[in-house]
Amino acid sequence: MLLLATLLTFSACGGDDDEPKDTLKGTEWTHGLTERVEHIEFTSDTQVEYYHTKNDALIGKVGSGTYSKNGSEITFHNFEGNYNTEIMTFKSAKLQGNTLTVYYESSYFGETSTTFRKMK
């Protein structure tokens, strides 16, 4: 009986670490292949950055802005990025597990979206 009570106590306490955190701070999301990878990094509870790497080398930060989060919905504010001559105005995103679908307006393609995968 004592063994059963001890096991129940540990299993009840152990689940706390599995709860999802309601913050994006410190997470990084990527899209692409080794040749050219796009990154979105949430550097704080309100700041977000967009940059590219090529063959794992940083090309440079090409955009930054702010965001707000309500559940799985993210709204970007003053968040633009560019790649060569393409300008992207990031509008919003939808968080679904380890994927982040980002909705933006591209100077080449108009309204479009890209799905990023969680790296960290």
Q: Tens of pLDDT along 20-54?
A: 467 899 999 999 976 789 999 999 999 999 998 88
> Higher-confidence residue: 91 or 9?
91
CATH for 24-118 is 2.40.128
Q: Determine the Cα–Cα distance for residues 60 and 70; give it in Å rounded to an integer.
A: 30
> Higher-confidence residue: 60 or 59?
59
The predicted-structure confidence for 68-77, as pLDDT tens digits, reads as follows: 999 999 999 9
- Return the pLDDT at 21: 62
- Stated pTM of the model: 0.78
CA neighbor of 104 nearest in space, from 75, 84, 69: 75
Residue 79 pLDDT greater than 70, yes or no: yes
